[in-house]
Amino acid sequence: MNRVFKALSDPTRRRVLQLLRERPMTAGELSQPFAVSKPTMSAHFAVLQEAGLIEAEKVGRTIVYRLKMSVLEDALFGFAQTFGWEVKRGRGSKKLAEKELES
């Protein structure tokens, strides 16, 4: 879980994840919105891969990245449970545990 939150701590990496929610994208497509060097973007991709948040597939000479939403969900659910949140998997069904609301 620490690697996931380290990866999420950077705004560039969070934006990459947002872009990948739309569809798989090549490294070049993902790099376009950012005014940073290719090595810098490669480093961001590496951190995201190490955290398990994205996967890369080489297609010819191109690398296509995909979001691994389940890893992100698992980390967020685990984090929420650490603070006493009752977490139900499914669309928008997160809520505080009743006893936490009464406190």
Long-range contacts of 2-7 (CB under 8 A, 24+ apart): 3/50, 3/51, 3/52, 4/51, 4/52, 4/53, 4/71, 4/72, 4/75, 5/75, 5/79, 6/47, 6/51, 7/47, 7/48, 7/50, 7/51, 7/53
pLDDT at 53: 95
Q: Greater confidence, 95 or 30?
A: 30
pLDDT at 87: 63
Residue-wise pLDDT for 34-89, tens only, equals 999 999 999 999 999 999 999 999 999 999 999 998 888 888 888 888 887 776 66
Going from N- to C-terminal start, the domains of the chain cover 2-68, 72-102
pTM: 0.76
Q: Which CATH class is domain 2-68?
A: mainly alpha
